Amino acid sequence: MKRFYLKTMGCQMNDHDSEVITGLLLSQGYVATDQVEDADLILYNTCCVRENPERKVYGHISAFRKLKEQNPQLVIGICGCMTQQKQELEKILLQLPHVDLIFGTHNIHRLPELLERAQNGERVVEVWEEGQYEEGQDFRDGLPVQRSHGLKAFVNVIYGCTNFCTYCIVPYVRGREHSRLPERILEDITSLAAEGYKEVTLLGQNVNAYGKDLSVDTSFSTLLREVNTIDGLARIRFTTSHPRDMGDDLISALADLDKVCEHLHLPVQAGSNTLLRRMNRGYTREYYLSLVEKVRKAVPGISLTTDLIVGFPGETDQDFRETLSLVQEVEFDSAFTFIYSPREGTPAARLPDQIPEELKKERIYELIELQNSISGKQMQKLVGTTQEVLIEGKSQDGIIGRTRTNRQVHLTGSEDLIGSLQEVEITEASTWSLQGRIL
């Protein structure tokens, strides 16, 4: 029996691709292991959105050289976004000579054949520049999927990105936007619900662009309305929404549809109009703030989360203060904060006035401190309220679930409740999680 060790980095697109990779490997007779030492195949599904995770890949994989010396049959593979960058691919080939198998984000379905060739001693490198698909289709359609959770499932609705934010590498490594046909998505979710899944997260780099590339007349809000009718399903989430494409129809869908959860991840990135323009985000601070107001009015109590970048080239102290003041003004429930990382091939990497590392760090600490205090305050507001909680699993000393607003709640109760929806009174709050009592 052959064993594989799969490491996944990056965003939910990669998490889901890894579920497909796992499905393919299981269908080839492999079994999973979490011990690299036991593996016949070590595979890294990589992310290149920032430099740090890339560096980790070189560190980890260099360390596997010894394993390869001990076991020449071992296959070491790298796939995912990193391999789609030409200069990075060359660097991998040169600096990691013991890597046997490399494929990209557009040809995961080729894994069984490529793996067999690698097992026979060939160094296999196959990266496609673009995906090959007909309208509404993708190579992932119909591939086996081994899901990592029994209650919650990721479902792709749109692949790729053509927004070209000036800092971002994703459009270069994931290809142009292409939506899946609505009937395919609905079919998938109907079978998931029949298998007992309670929650789906609809995935895309910009779900709000869903349908624009299809000749059928549809949109993301229409899709949500259709998914909402599927029996057995309790919760619908989606990520990520681009503020520029967030229309009134989507806000109404959030407000009207009972299964669509009251949580919106709406990356703002920066608070100053100068930076937003240079990032090519396509909206202003004022537009973003009015959007937040509209969403909160339509969906009271909605949880709002965001992504923020500090240290974008040319960011002045004043620009940074405007990010802080926006964060202060909106009071996000939580935020992912990132230090700008220049990505080769993107326009921002070529801009003058790159910000020194020290200053970027100072700024991110200040931002994190501010956001943490706001997150803590938002959590405290929930103490004493009643929330619908989906019980998702065991914790060390009880059970654990999530509110519709995607906050984790620790509870005492029997494991038999896993998979059920419970009314819960929130009794305690910390910055990151809640304690509650089942009513």
Chosen from ligand SAH, ligand SF4, ligand F3S, none, partner binding at 171 (C-beta under 5 to 8 Å by type):
ligand SF4
- Determine which residue in the list 20, 47, 99, 170 makes contact with ligand SF4, applying CB under 6 A: 170
| Shortest distance, position 161 Cβ to ligand SF4, whole Å | 3
Chosen from ligand F3S, ligand SAH, ligand SF4, none, partner binding at 164 (C-beta under 5 to 8 Å by type):
ligand SF4
Token representation of residue 169: 């590498």
Cα 192-179-235 angle, rounded to 5 deg: 35
- Determine which residue in the list 173, 227, 374, 389 makes contact with ligand F3S, applying CB under 6 A: 173
- Determine which residue in the list 18, 205, 239, 346 makes contact with ligand SF4, applying CB under 6 A: 205
Query: Which of residues 68 and 285 has its CB atom nearest to ligand SF4 in the complex?
Result: 285
267 binds ligand SAH (CB under 6 A): yes
| Shortest distance, position 170 Cβ to ligand SAH, whole Å | 6
Q: Backbone phi, then psi, for 74, in 5-degree steps?
A: -60, 135
**Site string (132-171) toward ligand F3S, x via CB under 6 A:** --------------------------------------x-
Question: CA–CA separation, 322 vs 308, rounded Å?
Answer: 12
- Residue 244 identity (one-letter amino acid): R
The torsion region of residue 80 among left (phi > 0), alpha (psi -120 to 50) and beta comes to: left
Q: Could you tell me how many residues make up the chain? A: 439
- Determine which residue in the list 50, 263, 363, 410 makes contact with ligand SAH, applying CB under 6 A: 50
Residue whose C-alpha is closest to residue 206's, from 276, 265, 283, 248: 265
Contact region with ligand SF4 (CB under 6 A), list: 160-168, 175-183, 209-217, 312-320: 160-168
163 binds ligand SF4 (CB under 6 A): yes
Question: CA–CA separation, 54 vs 10, rounded Å?
Answer: 10
CA separation (Å) from 310 to 80, 188, 264, 320?
26, 39, 22, 7
341 binds ligand F3S (CB under 6 A): no
In 177-316, alpha helices (H): 182-194, 220-227, 248-256, 273-278, 285-298
Q: How many helices (H) and strands (E) does the chain have?
A: 13, 19
| Shortest distance, position 88 Cβ to ligand SAH, whole Å | 14
Token representation of residue 164: 């070209």
Find the helix or strand (DSSP H, E) in which 89 lies: helix 86-95
Query: Which of residues 171 and 342 has its CB atom nearest to ligand SF4 in the complex?
Result: 171
- Determine which residue in the list 44, 159, 167, 197 makes contact with ligand SAH, applying CB under 6 A: 167
Query: Which of residues 335 and 400 has its CB atom nearest to ligand SAH in the complex?
Result: 335
Peptide bond into 240 cis (omega under 30): yes
124 binds ligand F3S (CB under 6 A): no
Neighbouring residues of 290: CB distance < 8 A, sequence distance ≥ 6: none
**Site string (231-270) toward ligand SF4, x via CB under 6 A:** -----------x----------------------------
Q: Contact positions toward ligand SAH, by CB under 6 A?
A: 49-50, 167-168, 170, 205-206, 240, 242, 267, 269, 307, 309, 338, 340-341, 343
